[in-house]
Structure 1
């Protein structure tokens, strides 16, 4: 359901056929939107200039103007606008041309209700997601500072790595535990590159319908005749949408083997054919990937093609776990506390000293995501200006105070009372911390394979 600020004045529908305009408007209103209406290019531009809607449904075939020209003028007035173009004469070439010039999506008449509402909802969702990282060239550094708050050695290594790889066109593979900010890292690579003014397109292979993943990636060409798939529509896939910009592919190992082979051919040729078409379309795309599991292990297990692995695993970049970032935790906690308190209408502004000390001792297996959940728990369930230990979730509030060192006996065994699994976790975590979050260096110290550490940390996250 769209947020409140999008309902009143956030959507413009441009359609010159009265019956279709009425039909589309009815569907949108039932979904909770309140679209402004226009029936010509001139009316559309006048309405757009006055109200500056954030999302536009634009028919390319208008009685007084070329729809693409109207789209260009709208984007010149407000570049961040998400424009969804509609046509009865769609082709893949038109879809690519529209997306290259800034269209968010491409629909072909007759429009399905679900497809239209899905496209509109996606446009608004993308705008909300990009608010914190929408910057011009002068403000780009500030956005990166917000995304990667902290001065630890581990984060400085990440900053340096991003600066080194941003100007390249080589694929980047981002590694790291769940919740460490791998997508923010990918956006930072994009914002630091000369593609920053172009689109950053995300495709999560694990979240997509496996049967639709090929279309999500390569797009779809409408059938040339009425036979066959009558519901098929011309649709620009993630690759076409990212032309000139960056394509961020998550969990690429969840593609089936045949689709992995097709994706490899795209990487080798820099061209692709949409589903239902044989014509090759040339594109210029920078690829950034990430995975929820160790890609080396997936390659050895046969889940990731070996030839694709070596094509993708050119520049690895590892996001450090929160527990390896030292007092960065305090900076992040303060930032998110202010953000969550504002969202919830609360007065919280700081932490008690014992909470700050405790934060430095926690393993944070869920990383920044876990930190945010802990803070939201405290803010939602309590009132005040200072977050105290009693306000934390029960499992954290009852931990021993890190400042109260229990008396020890001479020659006491530091591992007494611990299971082998607990000893192993402590040893690996300590080694990673000693090496500033670097898993490969920790693995060399412990004389084990890095993949062993990644596998065990995944097991800990699930525990």
Structure 2
């Protein structure tokens, strides 16, 4: 359940002209920990929005003095990043599509279920928090993403070049990489550098969604038909409708059922879809970006991903390198996230002791950027000062030895083969070659006269141990 101390700072505006409903919705929201501001008309809503600039707005489309869509346009003109959840008594999916095309975050149909309403509000705040987390010193979202996506290593320069090449295309992009390497940031970078940058970027994680609800999350759901007995089914716009004109980012598509993969393939082929409970096809214009932490080729061969869908989606691959292969990018990212965490926690840290920077270069970073953020937050929250020292790091890191490497990459004075198996010698040789080339797998592969894919495959096997 959300905490009121957090939510009240973000601001929630409820716009409902029926007094009994306004009181009911406000009571439900307060019990959930929110502190909603209330408005009973379009004019009052715009006045309160201009004064308080709330992050989330629950907006009834039927107001006594104004068209709700017009009010929404005015709100988004004042603050584009605000999440507007529209409410209507009309269960038409067309209204849902119109609202989402105009910029609505979600769509609710009266009578509102408490769980559905709170879920929509929580989702809106969560999305706002994810974007605010990228913001440093009130820079624009694009600039913030560029800072979080920084990198001078050859591996990251290759990523940036690929993004620049594909951003203007409509071809599907498939982003590969370990968990925590920044695959969603990569997808957002493609979106923000494309002609669709002003439109919505919608995310759907197939592994996080309830399998029984995933079809509705994707295609949406039609409401009760006129003349039929009213049911508990509520119309809602799915991820595809919300992304119309923009980009749909689908995570872990191999976790869709085979039947749903077939339906998704039809949508990809026809550029149209039918909401659950409706046979009418709705045309959309959506750029697809997919991602997976596993190799989609292996998923296809294992039967987890349909072959025909694989060839439709795996058109332009982009591989995000793990943090341990990015050389001194580690220092750039550490400084960036230190500044961000310091701002959040109200501390004074501004730099790292050289020992910490040296240690960061040698850490395996199995959790990639997420692990780095956790390490930095540990140091900042539990300590005070201007410089982060080794003693401030989590215990396991603070006591870790940093080997003195020779030109061969082996510890000084050690017999590189004594007591080692062939597999261990191979791992040490590959790791040393990558280090010599500052994290560049392609250069290490050329030195060792093997394919880069061989190194990536072996690294994946080592990570699973």
TM-score, with structure 1 as normaliser: 0.90
Offset of residue 229 of structure 1: 9.1
- Equivalent position of 1:352 in the other structure: 353
Report the Cα distance in structure 1 between the residues aligned to 2:338 and 2:302, rounded to whole angstroms: 42
Q: Alpha-carbon deviations, 1:192-219, whole Å to 9, x = none?
A: 1111111111111111111111111111
In structure 2, how many angstroms separate the alpha carbons of the residues matched to 1:141 and 1:221? 35
Structure 1 equivalent of residue 419 of structure 2: 417
**Structure 2, gaps ≥5 residues long:** none
Aligned Cα RMSD in Å?
A: 2.8
Q: CA shift at 1:163, angstroms?
A: 0.7
Cα distance in 2, alignment partners of residues 119 and 125 from structure 1 = 10
Offset of residue 436 of structure 1: 5.4
Contact 2:327 2:439 survives alignment (8 Å): no
Q: Which moved more, 1:453-462 or 1:375-384?
A: 453-462
Residue matched to 1:117: 118
Aligned residue in 2 for 1:408: 413
Q: Aligned pair in 2 of structure 1 residues 379, 424: CA closer, same or farther (>3 Å)?
A: farther
Deviations 1:383-436 (A, max 9, x none): 333323333333333333334876526xx3x13334555444334445556495
- Equivalent position of 1:324 in the other structure: 325
What is the aligned length?
457
- Hey, what does 2:82 align to over in structure 1? 81
Contact 2:405-2:412 within 8 A present in 1 as well: no
Give yes or no for contact 2:252–2:292 (8 Å, CA) kept in 1. Answer: yes
Alignment check: 8 A CA contact 1:354 1:401 kept: no
Which runs of no fewer than 5 residues in structure 1 stay unpaired?
A: none
Asked whether the equivalents of residues 293 and 455 of structure 1 are also in contact (C-alpha less than 8 Å), the reply is no
Do residues 173 (structure 1) and 174 (structure 2) align? Answer: yes
Distance 1:285 1:440, change over 3 A: farther
What secondary structure is seen at the aligned counterpart in 2 of 1:130?
Answer: helix
SS at match of 2:13: strand
Q: Aligned-pair distance for 1:141?
A: 5.8
CA contact (8 A) 1:318 1:438 kept: no
The whole-number CA distance in structure 1 between the counterparts of 2:444 and 2:260 is 34
- Relative distance call for 1:228 and 1:249 in structure 2 (3 A) is farther
* Contact 1:220–1:233 (CA under 8 A) maintained in structure 2: yes
SS of the residue aligned with 2:29? Answer: helix
- Residue 209 of structure 1 aligns with which residue? 210
Go from structure 1 to structure 2 and tell me whether the alpha carbon gap of 1:348 and 1:164 turns closer, same or farther (over 3 Å shift). same
Q: Find the residue that maps to 1:339 and give its secondary structure.
A: helix
Deviates more, 1:419-428 or 1:91-100: 419-428
* Structure 1 match to 2:50: 49
What is the DSSP-based 3-state SS (H/G/I as helix, E as strand, rest coil) of the residue aligned with 1:99? helix
Q: In the alignment, is the contact (CA less than 8 A) between 1:365 and 1:460 conserved in 2?
A: no
TM-score with structure 2 setting the length: 0.90
CA contact 1:321–1:437 (8 Å) conserved in 2: no
Alignment check: 8 A CA contact 1:54 1:82 kept: yes
Answer yes or no: is the 8 Å Cα contact 2:441–2:455 preserved in 1.
no
Report the alpha carbon displacement of residue 320 of structure 1 after superposing the two structures with TM: 1.3
Matched-pair contact (CA < 8 Å) for 2:12–2:57: yes
Tell me whether 1:396 sits opposite 2:427 in the alignment: no
Please give the alpha-carbon distance, in whole angstroms, between the structure 1 residues aligned to 2:365 and 2:110: 50
Displacement of 1:453 in angstroms is 5.2
CA distance in 2, matches of 1:374, 1:227: 57
Q: Is residue 2:275 matched to residue 1:270?
A: no
Looking at structure 2, the residues matched to 8 and 364 of structure 1 have their Cα atoms a distance apart, in angstroms, of: 34
Q: Distance in 1 between matches of 2:395 and 2:422?
A: 26
